[in-house]
Amino acid sequence: MPTYDYLCENCGHRFEHFQSMKEKALTLCPVCNQEALVRLVSGGSGLIFKGSGFYITDYKKSHSLASDSNGTNGKTKTEKPSPSEKKETKTD
Strand-pairing partners, residue 3, are 18
CA contacts within 13 A on the Cβ side of 79: 9
Q: Model pTM?
A: 0.47
Express each pLDDT in 27-69 by its tens digit. 999 999 999 999 997 766 666 666 665 655 555 555 555 455 5
Of 30, 2, 4, the C-alpha closest to 17 is 4
Report the pLDDT value the prediction gives residue 2, as an integer from 0 to 100. 81
* Cα–Cα dist 56/20, whole Å: 36
